[in-house]
Structure 1
Amino acid sequence: MPHEITITRLIDAPRERVFDAWTNPDSLNTWWGPQGFTNTTQSIDVRSGGVWQFVMHSPDGTDYPNRITFEEIIRPERITYLHGEDEGRPRDFHTTVTFNDVGGRTLLTMNMVFATAELRQAALGYWAIEGGHSTVDKLSEFVAAAGGERRLVLTRIFQAPLAAVWRAWTEAEQIKQWWGPAHFTAPVVEIDFREGGKYLYAMRDPEGNDYWSTGEFIEIAPQERIVYTDSFADAQGNVIPAAMFGMGDDYPDVTTATLTFEDIGEGRTRLTLVGQAPAGEMAEMARAGWSTSLDKLAQVVAR
């Protein structure tokens, strides 16, 4: 619809936990907003007719006043609210959030309806879709942590067709062009892209040190999903304990990651990566590394 923006995500957590993350004031304040943003709550009353007045702080220090007026809260099925800037501007758009159980996981749908197409277009100019997906990334990580798990969730929208993004993940010569954080190269990419096939990649830092990884492709749904294992390795593909790389004694030597690819129209592709997150500062380092890798990928697929 010309006045709407809809964001959906299948979250690997029960819907009661996901719903509670939306209605517990401390939880909501923790995960709300895109990656890098924080919140200062001025007042919050999470009930039908209640108001959450808060300020979002961007990484560059810009403050964004927000006012959410909750209309309907039906646990654990639905939340509706008006979202504006302040009491004098209480409604920029109306949002309905639904929580559907899918075999113990939660299909979250956020439907935002704007009064006019012009208001929707203005929101797109502020990266509303990208910010929405980044916010749901944080929600996914939050509910995983609430369940005793640590997850890294990243979503990126590429200005490139689905087929191009898929090839960039599955063809060796393309992977070599972007694998690894900023300023790293990928001198070795060996890939047997089939279910049960394995890969062995090396990324090289600016000082010439090589870091190897290996794994196996568990599930491949062409141009939809890739599920694979991931481990630190040596040049022969032998698994090396993750603890040797500072990941912590409780970090598994073999982890599983899932990539989903979605054609979102107009020649654009949404990629979502869900993987295991290390603890503490290593989690932020992992996020930063993946983020800059995806920046490089964006340049490759835009050519």
Structure 2
Amino acid sequence: MFESNVIVTLEEKIVRIERKFQAPLKLVWEVWTNPLHLEKWWGPKGFSNPTVEFDFKVGGSYRIVMRSPEGIDYPVVGKFLEITPYESFVMSDLVDEHPEEWVKEVQKMAGVRGDRSILNSKLRVLFEEEDNFTQVILITEFMNNQIRDGFAKSGMKEGWSQSFEKLESEALPSPNELVIEKELAHPLDLVYQAFTDSNHIQSWWGPNGFTTTTDSREFRVGGEWIFKMVSEDGKVYPNVIKYKSIQENEYLEYHHGSGSDTKDDDFFVKIWFTPTKNNHTIIKMKMAFSSPEKRNAVVNFGAIEGAHQTLSRLNGYLSK
């Protein structure tokens, strides 16, 4: 079983924390930048995240409310200052909403006094990949070395170590699987109908720039959807989906391949449809491949981006 230790070093006004994950960089990036994944792992063991607002763009804001096992909330807020896709991002880390008792305790450990804003910091998250392993490096910059030391004493290493353990066990999928989750701004019945109606589905299916044409489709258990996807450069991709399970407005399960007997390109898909309190719908897609190598290959080829683009096209189609 893969294990990776957390490495912590102190630099000028900086706490540097490193940890390696057994997954492709794009997959690790996904669980760091998608709020539906973040809520599963952010914070130490026993903490939950009842609120995760994450407008991931330069100038966008975030707010994550961590709730302790005792029911105490620790809201973390800030803005995204820099984003270099699949390389790094920088975010301000403000303690404006943290409990007063926590602020006093950290200030005591740091030996400082004054307004709570002196505890604010800036976090740079770096991603480095080698042979489908991803090194994540956190560089937290504080106002001075005293405050740096106060945070180091307050349990930074332990907190991030536990968060990383949760990331690996709760957010990263199994080595041969890929999980995509996205919230659509439409009610469950409309979203599910878009998957079941042949005219609807070929209007939005596929990444940006692709068109989809249905040859035949029987939406039933045991039925098949035979279709072609054509990219902007005219390349044709034959597809065959065989439906294995259908639970109306809840769940789909199917086998997806090209229909070729000579290609090892088949994978298995499970889709859950979950309504939210604001009348939106969360789609969770789990794709299982024949091996970790096959999963990693499709991730590196762009499967995550393609899946998000497809679901975004669905969201846009339903908004018309």
Instruction: Determine which structure has more spread, i.e. the larger CA radius of gyration.
Output: 2
Q: Which residue of the other structure, out of 135, 149, 158, is the alignment partner of 2:184? A: 158
> Does 1:90 find its partner at 2:98?
yes
Runs of 5+ unmatched residues, structure 2: 1-17, 22-27, 48-53, 78-93, 101-166
> Does 1:211 find its partner at 2:234?
no
The CA deviation at 1:83 is 3.4
- Alpha carbons 2:181, 2:283 under 8 Å: kept: yes
- For 2:207 and 2:69, the matched residues in 1 are separated by 44
- Alpha carbons 1:231, 1:239 under 8 Å: kept: no
- For 2:269 and 2:219, the matched residues in 1 are separated by 15
> Does 1:257 find its partner at 2:274?
no
- For 1:63 and 1:158, the matched residues in 2 are separated by 19
**SS at 1:177's partner residue?**
helix
The CA deviation at 1:192 is 1.0
* 1:198-233 Cα distance to aligned partner (Å, 9 max, x none): 121211011222101113111110111001111123
- Alpha carbons 2:252, 2:270 under 8 Å: kept: yes
Residue 295 of structure 1 is matched in structure 2 by 312
Q: How many residues align?
A: 199
- Alpha carbons 1:201, 1:213 under 8 Å: kept: yes
Q: Sort the Cα spacing of 1:274 and 1:189 in 2 relative to 1 into closer, same or farther, 3 A.
A: farther
So what's the TM-score if we normalise by structure 2? 0.50
- Alpha carbons 2:173, 2:179 under 8 Å: kept: no
> What root-mean-square deviation, in Å, do the aligned CA atoms of Structure 1 and Structure 2 show?
4.2
Please list, as runs of the form range in 1=range in 2, the aligned pairs for 1:185-264 lying within 5 A after superposition: 185-233=211-259, 238-242=260-264, 253-264=265-276
So what's the TM-score if we normalise by structure 1? 0.53
> Does 1:271 find its partner at 2:293?
no
Runs of 5+ unmatched residues, structure 1: 1-24, 40-44, 51-56, 74-78, 93-137, 243-252
Please list, as runs of the form range in 1=range in 2, the aligned pairs for 1:23-38 lying within 5 A after superposition: 26=19, 33-35=32-34
Residue 22 of structure 1 is matched in structure 2 by none
Indicate the percent of aligned positions where both proteins have the same amino acid.
Answer: 17
- For 2:187 and 2:249, the matched residues in 1 are separated by 11
Residue 195 of structure 2 is matched in structure 1 by 169
Residue 283 of structure 1 is matched in structure 2 by 299
Q: Sort the Cα spacing of 1:176 and 1:70 in 2 relative to 1 into closer, same or farther, 3 A.
A: closer
* 1:17-55 Cα distance to aligned partner (Å, 9 max, x none): xxxxxxxx9489x6763249xx9xxxxx9579x9xxxxx
- For 1:289 and 1:160, the matched residues in 2 are separated by 21
- For 1:163 and 1:218, the matched residues in 2 are separated by 21
Q: Sort the Cα spacing of 1:232 and 1:91 in 2 relative to 1 into closer, same or farther, 3 A.
A: farther
- Alpha carbons 2:225, 2:240 under 8 Å: kept: yes
> Does 1:144 find its partner at 2:170?
no
- For 1:170 and 1:179, the matched residues in 2 are separated by 12
- For 1:171 and 1:69, the matched residues in 2 are separated by 41
